[in-house]
Amino acid sequence: MPLQKLPLSRPIVAACALALAGCSSVSNVLSGDKVDYRSGSTMRESTLDVPPDLTQLSRDSRYLPSGGSVSAASYQSARASSGATVTVAPNQLGTARIERAGNQRWLVVDMPPEQLWPKLRSFWQELGLTLTLDSPEAGVMETEWAENRAKLPNDIIRRTLGRVLDSLYSTGEVDRYRTRVERTAQGGSEIYISHRGMEEVYVDQRQEITRWQPRPADPELEAVMLTRLLTHLGQSPEQARTLHEQARQAPARARVVEQGGTIGVQIDDGFDRAWRRLGLSLDRSGFTVEDRDRARGLYFVRYVPPRPPQPEPGLLGRMFGRGNDETPSPQRYRIALQSEGDRSLVLVQNEQGEPDRSQTARRIVNLLAEDLR
């Protein structure tokens, strides 16, 4: 069902705004976060009280003052004299960095995938996103479609009525994230986060019928998630922002080339790095990766060509249901990656493994080249 944007009458809005004006807070007005997937579904719950027939658990006396006033200096000296050690940021990573090639970014950490996987799972859950795909064997997890509530207009009406009638607001956009983990030769991990988006658009001139259709991937949202993941893994917010800024400068590393009537994408990376970048590009560009064969350098994908714009159906078409709702059928292709020393070449093949020179294949090459730049 499409998301509904229900209008409110002005008298009701004005009355409710005056009645609930005192409920708005400064934090809501000054909130500048760009991502908020939790507020639409998470409710504030009251704390649990101990039932009358149960006794309160005994508290640890180590954390209770012995009496009188306690200063920070005396507390630290007492800790030092007792020989107790304080663990600071136990989940902090030894080394972590954000690498970038063109408009693609990924995270490199020195933690093996086996230790990293539970942390990635808890990261998405803390953001309020449910995982619909959680496959450690394939190194892939994917979230459900969710609405970014931070994109809602933060006007006076929503600030006063948002807590009561927030379900009436809708951005008309939903997001999904796919996380892919690759093991490095040094035993660490590379983390790739790709974004997919859908938007609700009107398909008739009267603006009565809506349909969900894909919208372009947002590299900035992917960068925000990588920065938040750095913080979740133990880096301070200042360190995460510094690593993000250091990864901004990078030259274009991909271009379209043509050889004997066949076009492809040439990447200025060796096979290993190009293989991982190509997987990220396929994830964010609307392809469904059915299988992959790294030894042969093949991605087996399913691709749905975009539907060309159709004219508005006439009167008879609307009466007898002969509209232009036909969706192109998905087609299967092989995306081949060939090593050329310090460079790699991406070619599009048909389902039988033969070079594809169709217009759809050229569209795929241009799509991948634009994303790999």
- Report the CATH number at residue 274: 3.30.310.170
Q: Are residues 276 and 342 in the same domain?
A: yes
Q: Does 179 map to a domain?
A: yes
- Asked if 360 and 256 sit in the same domain, the reply is yes
Same domain, 214 and 300: no
Report the pLDDT value the prediction gives residue 135, as an integer from 0 to 100: 92
Q: What is the pLDDT of residue 192?
A: 94
Cα–chain center distance at 127: 10
Are the C-beta atoms of 178 and 196 separated by less than 8 Å?
A: yes
The pLDDT value recorded for residue 317 is 53
CATH number at residue 100: 3.30.530.50
Considering the domain architecture, whether residues 235 and 283 belong to the same structural domain is answered as: no
The verdict on 239 and 208 lying in the same domain is yes
**C-beta of residue 35 within 8 angstroms of C-beta of residue 150:** yes
Residue 335 lies in a domain: yes
* pLDDT of the residue at 165: 54
Within a domain: residue 199? Answer: yes
In whole angstroms, what separates CA 252 from the centre of its chain?
23
pLDDT of residue 228: 92
Nearest to 343 by CA among 261, 274, 285: 274
Task: With H, G, I as helix, E, B as strand and everything else as coil, classify residue 312.
Answer: coil
Provide the 3-class DSSP secondary structure of residue 315.
helix
For residue 103, is it within any domain? yes
Instruction: Tell me if 27 is assigned to some domain.
Output: no
Q: Is 130 inside a domain boundary?
A: yes
- Total domains present in the chain: 2
How many angstroms separate the CA atoms of 167 and 144, rounded? 19
Residue with more model confidence, 88 or 81:
81
Instruction: Please report, as a single letter, which amino acid is at residue 187.
Output: G
Say yes or no: 196 and 99 in one domain: yes
Q: Same structural domain for residues 245 and 258? A: no
Residue of 306, 99, 73 whose CA lies nearest to 223: 99
pLDDT confidence band for 148 (50 / 70 / 90)? confident
202: containing domain: 92-146+174-250
- What is the overall mean pLDDT for the chain? 74
Provide mean pLDDT across the span 194-202.
90
Give me the mean pLDDT over the 42-52 stretch. Answer: 45
Domain end: 212, 228, 250, which one? Answer: 250
> Does residue 348 lie within any of the structural domains?
yes
Let me know if residue 271 belongs to a domain: yes
Q: What are phi and psi of 248, to 5 degrees?
A: -75, -35
Looking at the structure, tell me whether residues 215 and 111 fall in a common domain.
Answer: yes
Residues 212 and 338 in one domain: no
238, 286: one domain: no
Cβ contact 359:263 at 8 Å: no
Q: How high is the pLDDT of residue 31?
A: 34
Return the pLDDT at 11: 42
pTM over 0.75: no
B/e letters for 274-295, b = 16+ CB within 10 Å, e = fewer, are bbbbbbbbbbbbbbebeebeee
Answer with the residue of higher pLDDT: 140 or 96: 140
Residues 108 and 223 in one domain: yes
Q: For the residues 138-156, what does the mean pLDDT come to? A: 81
Q: Do residue 136 and residue 223 come from a single domain? A: yes
